[in-house]
Amino acid sequence: MKYSLASLFAGLVFGIGLIASGMANPEKVLGFLDLAGSWDPSLAFVMGGAILVGVFAFAIARKRTLSFLGFDIKMPASTHIDKRLILGGLMFGVGWGIAGFCPGPGLVALGAGEIKAAVFVAAMIAGMAIFEVIERNRANA
């Protein structure tokens, strides 16, 4: 219960931040990704602001084994840089560049009632499902 409430809170604040920052607007995102056009550097400030806070949070988390609500702190174990990481990143980046949506802003724009965002999110979930099927077949092979 506590865990889910904290999740809801984090999701809400995350979404408000995406709206305030301009990241929920794909045209703004594409303006940032368009280095050769008239470049809008705003989104670098979104990343900068988030990391500014994040660095402190992770420094605190690193010194603890339990969260403030008493849950285990789970850090990603992998430090491996492999083909999956890079190819996955490249694929994601191409999709991001086509529509201007990454997962969070897609969900926020869906919540704002944008039909096009709903189509993007449905396709994204389909893509994730394709991944699951491929992974399961690999595991069974």
Partner 1 sequence: MIEIAWNDFTPWSALLGGILVGIAAASFLLLNGRIAGISGILGGLLAPAKGDVIWRLAFLGGLICAPALWLLATDLPAIEINAGYPALIIAGVLVGIGTRYGSGCTSGHGVCGLSRLSLRSLMATLSFMGAGFATVYVIRHLLGV
Longest dimension (CA), the chain: 49
Structure-token pair, residue 86: 């890079």
Applying CB under 8 A, does 141 fall inside the site for partner 1? no
- DSSP secondary structure of 97-114: HHHS--HHHHHHHHHTT-
Tracing tokens 């092979």 back to the chain, one arrives at 141
Applying CB under 8 A, does 103 fall inside the site for partner 1? yes
What residues does 66 pair with on adjacent strands? 72
Applying CB under 8 A, does 109 fall inside the site for partner 1? yes
Q: How far is the CB of 78 from partner 1 (least distance, A)?
A: 6
Applying CB under 8 A, does 138 fall inside the site for partner 1? no
Choice from 94, 137, 139, 140 touching partner 1 (CB under 8 A): 94
What residues does 72 pair with on adjacent strands? 66
Q: How far is the CB of 65 from partner 1 (least distance, A)?
A: 9
Tell me the Ramachandran region of residue 52: left when phi exceeds 0, alpha when psi lies from -120 to 50, beta otherwise: alpha
Choice from 63, 75, 140, 141 touching partner 1 (CB under 8 A): 75
Applying CB under 8 A, does 74 fall inside the site for partner 1? yes
Q: How far is the CB of 85 from partner 1 (least distance, A)?
A: 5
Q: How far is the CB of 132 from partner 1 (least distance, A)?
A: 5
